[in-house]
Amino acid sequence: MSAIGTVTKYVDDARIIYKALNGVVVLYKPPVLHFNNVRETVISNLCRELNDMRTRPPMKHVAIEGETNKPMKVVVRSSFADHPLVVGPRYQPNDFRMGATKIMHKDVSGVLVCGINAGNQLIHKIKTSQSLRFYKIKGLLGEATDNYFHTGKVVEKSTYAHVRRGHLDKLCSSMQSTHQRKMFELCGVDIQSQAAYELAVKGLLRPANSNIPMIYTVKCVDFSPPEFMLEVVCTNETDLYLKAIIHDLGLKLRSNGTCTQILCIQDGLFNIKHALLSKHWTLQNIITNIQMCQNVINQNKNILHQKNPALIEPNNDIDTIE
């Protein structure tokens, strides 16, 4: 964050901070937790910290007391009906809405782009713009499980000594070219038309339908049998789809494959180095992160509304905040 143009003011009033809690925040989702658990934790942290600050004092209660046939007294005292012990803490989990561009299954970890309160509108726009996600997927050769993930029950075992890096690379590139062929079919125009040609000239396209998974790149980045790691760039994917890729690769390699880790390293413009670790899900860090994300969105207005079906190079001039 540049020091120029920002005014720092120290606030201890929870009301002002609650009003500032609108926007997009990037979290690092650890494995094993489901998105719902993440949301619960973040919201309860926010509530706790806001309630610990100076909150709204109880309202005044005006009472007219005394017997009606004598002069009566008008008393003003703080209302018990608005006391935090009676109506509960000032900020409660119901006061926060939190959605994400992708509801992450518990096996997936990594970048999770969330919206808090009014930020949910931005999240919806980012979601419909079909941004790309970058994954690092780890696989294990020689084993197959019933749910395609290493947590499942092992149903098949095989040897993997014959597998070479070349085989894996060959399969990855053939898979990539098949998917790219599919991309032109999914863009919603007749493949023999002039419109299709003009789109194809522009390069990679995003699919017209938001339900069909689309893979742009599959690359093996690490091969040390029995483990290997793929880097996948895709959109509209599901966790099971990514697991199935590893499973299919294993079968094509005349062996078996199980997915051991799915790590999302980038979602649209938001990189994993911007993401807040679970120990940093505090009010201060979340507010700073919201500001940073707002800067990123301001620099790349196109992620809120995509006019062009082709993929565009993002404006990668992003300041990180530790």
Partner 1 sequence: MYIEFLEKNVYKIDDAVEEIDEKLPGPFEQCNEDLSHIGPYITGTYNFAKFANDSHTIQQLVKLGVELYKIESDREVLEISENLGFFITRFPKIFKEDIDDLHTRIRYLRAHDFNITMIQTIVNKHPPWLAFKTQEIDHRLGFFQNNFKLNGSQVRSLAVKCPKLITYDMKRIRHSSFSIKEEMGFTKLEMHRILNKAPRVLIRARTEVVKTFDYLHNYMNLSHDIISREPTILLCRKRRLEVRHRFLVELKKDQYDPTKPLYVSPLCLVSGTDNEFCEKVAKASIHTYNDFLRTF
12-31: contacts with partner 1 (CB under 8 A) = 28, 30-31
Coil vs helix vs strand at 16:
helix
CB 253 to partner 1: min, Å: 25
Contact 140, 260 (CB under 8 A): yes
Single residue of 21, 91, 100, 109 touching partner 1 by CB under 8 A: 109
- Beta pairing partners, 21: none
The answer to whether 272 contacts partner 1 (rule: CB under 8 A) is yes
Closest CA to 274 of 292, 250, 258: 292
> Quick one: which segment of 16-24, 85-93, 115-123, 312-320 binds partner 1 (CB under 8 A)?
85-93
Stretch (H or E) spanning 285: helix 283-299
The answer to whether 86 contacts partner 1 (rule: CB under 8 A) is yes
119-148: contacts with partner 1 (CB under 8 A) = none
**Integer-rounded Cα radius of gyration of the chain:** 26
CB 303 to partner 1: min, Å: 23
The answer to whether 279 contacts partner 1 (rule: CB under 8 A) is yes
How far apart, in whole angstroms, are the C-alpha atoms of residue 58 and residue 185? 62
How far apart, in whole angstroms, are the C-alpha atoms of residue 216 and residue 207? 11
**226: cis peptide before it, omega within 30°?**
yes
Q: How far is CA 218 from CA 137, 206, 258, 271, in A?
A: 10, 16, 17, 19
Give percent helix, percent strand, percent coil of the chain, each to the nearest 5: 35, 25, 35
CB 200 to partner 1: min, Å: 37
Single residue of 87, 195, 208, 212 touching partner 1 by CB under 8 A: 87
The answer to whether 273 contacts partner 1 (rule: CB under 8 A) is yes
- Count of residues touching partner 1 (by CB under 8 A): 31
The answer to whether 93 contacts partner 1 (rule: CB under 8 A) is no
Single residue of 82, 95, 231, 248 touching partner 1 by CB under 8 A: 82
The answer to whether 63 contacts partner 1 (rule: CB under 8 A) is yes
List residues binding partner 1 (CB under 8 A). 28, 30-32, 61, 63, 65-69, 79-83, 85-89, 109-110, 261, 263, 272-273, 275, 277, 279, 322
